[in-house]
Structure 1
Amino acid sequence: MFNLHQFCNLQFRSISFGLLITLPGCTSVAIRSPATSEQPRTISTYFDYQLISPQNQAMTMQGFLSDIEKANVVLVGEWHGHSGIHRFQTDLLQAAVQKNSNLALSMEQFTRDRQAVVDQYLAGEIGEATLIKAANAWPNYRSDYRPLVEVAKVEKLDVLAANAPKQIVSCIAKEGIDYINRLPEKERAWLAETISLKDSAYKKRFMASSHHGDELQNSKQFAAQVTWDETMAESIVRYLEKHPDKKVIHTAGKFHVEDGLGIASSILARAPHLSVVIITPVDAGKKLEKMSGDYRLQVLGLPQQFVKNENMIASFKTLSERNNNLLCIK
């Protein structure tokens, strides 16, 4: 059995972001700030990362923050559940707020209809268990997104619940973009006002990567994907219209942000004057591609998900059946 002193030490032994945390019955623990050495880091565990400039040069956190001083939006792509990427996101937010407190955190992981719940948590009106349940937090919230939200809470930053509700987007994936015309006015407002499905480099990339069935089904899935992108982009732009002096750091899946497509292009379509910076994760075990417009975050590549083809097929089958009992407005 652990005694209280051992528990407190265990909780904070390996955390690496700059923050002072106190738990009931525990002594305050000062946690070191992100490393600023210009020497490339050794990436040997799933907690390690190295930030790379668009010119393929290793960067320090402070160097990156100097680079993006005039940016309005920083889009941080992720492989969901990757410990090193989530560690970087928290390191970035903590380092950024030390340099400029005029920040806001925007998240794919919370939806517009739950903004009030997120605000209540930040204000200390509800506890974390209530936040997780009432805001439909992702299953990996405690391990991957808690650190980000807690930094925002301690530093009194706004947190944007930027995304579209999953139920509605799932119905779009099932029935097509015309589904939005059936929504009541209140629910329609939880999605972007404008959702563009026009041909684009993004659409071409999505269709090339699709495993959703025939062309019609792929088109419906693309409509769902774009609904996410457009809604997150609109959430960010609307926030900056009200708070033009703020800088927004937004977390989302890699596909939503890389190469200036997805959310980035949707932001600039609405507000061409904004400066948008993109960070995308890459496998540290692979050679860097030629210079990119994105900053890259080198991390260990994800483990192989399937060895046997039949296991992969079974997984895709399960995914395809997950919305069989979905209730959509007729």
Structure 2
Amino acid sequence: MKKWLSLGLASLMFGCTSHTDVTDMNDSMSQPLPTMYDSTIYSPQGQPMTLTQLAVALKEADIVLVGEWHGHPGAHLMQARLFAALYQQHPDMVLSMEQFTRDKQHVVNQYLAGEIGEKTLIKDGNAWPNYGSDYRPLVEFAKRNQLDVIAANAPRPIVRCIGQQGKGYLERLPATERRWVAEQLTLGDDAYHDKFNASMHHGDEEKTNRQFAAQTAWDDTMAESMVDYLALHPNKQIIHIAGRFHVAEGLGTASRITARNPDLTVMIVTPVTEKANVAEGSPDFTFKVMPLPTAYVDADKMQAAMKEIYGRNKALKCEE
């Protein structure tokens, strides 16, 4: 009797699962839930694309600008995969990076040549804190395939001093340091300037102008670095990695590239979320990812963090 009772309970527990339930479970297992690594690619017209289709669409570009939210795993994964896909169809690739500066180009070159190790690259090259998790895959792909890496950006201390003192700060730099920043800064009232101004909320016009000079010092320097490189290596294709604000909608670095050489074809790949998209009619290919977590909920804590950053910048010693 107990034996049949046990079998009956087993039937109740396991035998009553319907065919529909099993099917639903199998469908769920075959379609994993999205993670922060996942992304969906779209054309500028909003049509879904595969990574291979994206690479083909970018084939004729001289420069491909790929944006990121710094530290977003989905953006960094997309950058690495796109780099590899572009290389498959165009082996004469070059990696250009916001994350290394012109004054550290020799350190990057030493690493690519195997003359120094990664720890030395990170220390002497002033690599970003997230280098190991987010930028190592890009640099290692370049190293493995003997591709150049352009340390494209202007040094942060100089840019911060421009933010404090304005464009005139560049005139006080020694010649050896002045060449680490673009010869010309784009300071006119273009669409990028308007977008930057709209993101400022402190109401101090002079301060905003100094801060924009610092912002465009990054964009102009990165643009000049790539344009100068292609002038010496015209058959190369560059993939450039930079923050989303520098890349989106062709306003920042892209416009500065075109101003220097309008014959270059520049194409843009920008991360988006449900809430952060690109303007309608923008030339960007996009890839949709989950948004990053909210940085601050408490306004006081956010203000305290901003004051800490401001304090560090204020303590910076600039050329007199």
Is the shorter-chain TM-score for this pair beyond 0.5, marking a shared fold?
yes
The equivalent position to 2:228 in structure 1, one of 238, 243, 254, is: 238
Deviation per residue, 1:86-138 (Å, 9 max, x gap): 00100011111122111000000000000010000001000000000000000
Determine the C-alpha separation between the residues in 1 that align with 2:75 and 2:86.
16
Please state whether the residue corresponding to 1:323 is helix, strand or coil.
helix
Mapped to 2, the partners of 1:290 and 1:329 lie a distance apart of 43
Root-mean-square deviation (Å) = 1.6
State the AA in 2 paired with 1:219: N
Cα distance in 2 for partners of 1:100, 1:137 equals: 28
Contact 1:206/1:222, CA 8 A, preserved across alignment: yes
Q: Matches of residues 217-236 of structure 1 in structure 2 within 5 Å? A: 217-236=207-226
Q: Which moved more, 1:177-186 or 1:209-218?
A: 209-218
Partner of 2:141: 151
Structural mapping, 1:172-183, within 5 Å: 172-183=162-173
Secondary structure of the residue that 1:251 maps to in structure 2?
strand
Question: How many angstroms apart in 1 are the aligned matches of 2:198 and 2:218?
Answer: 19
Counterpart CA distance in 1 for 2:163 and 2:311 is 13
Among 263, 270, 278, which residue is 1:273 paired with? 263
Q: CA deviation at 1:324?
A: 2.1
Per mean C-alpha deviation after superposition, the further-off stretch among 317-326 and 56-65 is 317-326
2: distance between equivalents of 1:219 and 1:122? 38
Give the deviation of 1:283 after TM superposition: 0.6
CA contact (8 A) 1:43 1:299 kept: no
Alignment of 1:55-94 (within 5 A): 55-94=45-84
Q: 1:181 to 1:313 in 2, by over 3 A?
A: same
Change (3 A) 1:112 1:175: same
In the alignment, structure 1 segments of 5+ residues that lack a partner are 1-40
Cα distance in 2, alignment partners of residues 225 and 248 from structure 1: 22
Aligned residue in 2 for 1:29: none
The separation in 1 between residues aligned to 2:209 and 2:256, in whole angstroms, is 18
Q: Residue type of the partner of 1:189?
A: R
The reply on whether 1:50 has 2:48 as its aligned counterpart is: no
Q: Say if 1:212 and 1:320, in contact at 8 Å, map to a contact too.
A: no
- 1:306 Cα deviation after fit: 1.4
**Residue 239 of structure 2 is aligned with which of 249, 253, 261?**
249
What is the DSSP-based 3-state SS (H/G/I as helix, E as strand, rest coil) of the residue aligned with 1:105?
Answer: strand
Q: Distance in 2 between matches of 1:59 and 1:284?
A: 18
**TM-score in terms of structure 2 length:** 0.87
Counterpart mapping for 1:90-101 below 5 A: 90-101=80-91
Conserved? CA contact 1:117–1:134, under 8 Å: yes
Question: Counterpart in 2 of 1:296?
Answer: 286
1:261 match:
251
Segments of structure 2 that go 5 or more residues without pairing to the other structure are 1-30
Larger Rg: 2
CA–CA separation in structure 1 for the residues paired with 2:296 and 2:61 = 40
**What does 1:130-145 align with in structure 2 at a 5 Å threshold?**
130-145=120-135
Residues 301-330 of structure 1 show CA distances to partners (whole Å, capped at 9, x for unaligned) of 111111122122212222221212201110
Out of 96, 100, 110, which is 1:106 matched to? 96
Q: Give the length in aligned residue pairs.
A: 290
Contact 2:69 2:75 in 1 (8 A): yes
Output the CA distance in 1 between the equivalents of 2:312 and 2:203.
15
Measure, in 2, the Cα distance between the counterparts of 1:288 and 1:169. 27
CA distance in 2, matches of 1:225, 1:285: 24
Structure with higher helix content: 2
3-state secondary structure, aligned to 1:157? coil
Q: Which residue of 2 aligns with 1:324?
A: 314
Aligned partner of 1:303: which letter?
P
In the TM superposition, residue 54 of structure 1 has moved relative to its aligned partner by: 0.4
Change (3 A) 1:178 1:42: farther
